[in-house]
Amino acid sequence: MKKLLLSTKAFSLIELLISLIIISLLIGAFAPIITKKLKASDVTVGSSYAADEFFTGDKCTSNCALCTQNNCLMCKTGYVKYGTECISEIANCISYKNESTCLKCKDGYILLNGLCHTPIANCTSYSDGSCSSCDLGYTRYNGFCAKNITNCISYSDANTCSKCIDNYTLSSNSCILSCNPQTVTLAGTNTKVTRFNMGDDPSYPRSVAEGISGVTFVPVGTKCEGELCCWYGVTAVGNTCTNVGGIYSGCNRTVCKWWAAKKICESIGDGWKLPDTSNSMASWYPNNSTASTGLMLCDYIVSGTSASGCAGAASCPGSYNGYCSPGGVWARSESGGSAQRRDLGGGTWGMKAFDKSYAFSVRCVKE
222 or 16, higher pLDDT = 222
- pLDDT of 295 reads 63
Burial of 271: CB neighbours in 10 Å, binned 0-12, 13-18, 19+: exposed
- pLDDT of 43 reads 37
pLDDT score of 205 more than 70: no
Q: What residue type is assigned to position 5 of the chain?
A: L
- pLDDT of 34 reads 44
Q: How many residues does the chain have?
A: 367
Average of per-residue pLDDT values in the chain: 74
Task: Out of 47-51, 316-320, 323-327, pick the least confident.
Answer: 47-51
pLDDT score of 79 more than 80: yes
Partners of 96 in beta bridges:
102
pLDDT score of 358 more than 90: yes
- pLDDT of 41 reads 39
Name, in order, each residue with C-beta under 8 angstroms of 222's C-beta and a sequence gap of 6 or more: 231, 317
Phi, psi of 317 (to 5 degrees): -60, 130
- How many other C-beta atoms can be found within 10 angstroms of the C-beta atom of residue 165? 14
Model confidence at 26, in pLDDT bands (50, 70, 90)? low
Q: What is the mean pLDDT of residues 317-328?
A: 88
pLDDT score of 203 more than 70: no
Q: What is the mean pLDDT of residues 219-238?
A: 85
Distance CA 123, CA 119 (A): 8
Model confidence at 257, in pLDDT bands (50, 70, 90)? very high
The per-residue pLDDT for range 150-178, each reduced to its tens digit, is 889 899 988 899 988 766 777 778 887 65
Q: What is the mean pLDDT of residues 229-257?
A: 68
296 or 44, higher pLDDT = 296
Burial of 234: CB neighbours in 10 Å, binned 0-12, 13-18, 19+: buried
Burial of 318: CB neighbours in 10 Å, binned 0-12, 13-18, 19+: middle
Spatial CA neighbour of 224 closest among 249, 262, 259, 276? 259
Distances (CA, A) of 207 to 41, 45, 199: 80, 74, 6
- How many other C-beta atoms can be found within 10 angstroms of the C-beta atom of residue 341? 24
pLDDT score of 258 more than 90: yes
Model pTM greater than 0.75? no
- pLDDT of 310 reads 67
- pLDDT of 280 reads 66
DSSP state for residue 346 in the 8-state scheme: S
pLDDT score of 105 more than 50: yes
Q: What is the mean pLDDT of residues 295-311?
A: 55
Distance CA 21, CA 35 (A): 21
Q: What is the mean pLDDT of residues 339-365?
A: 76
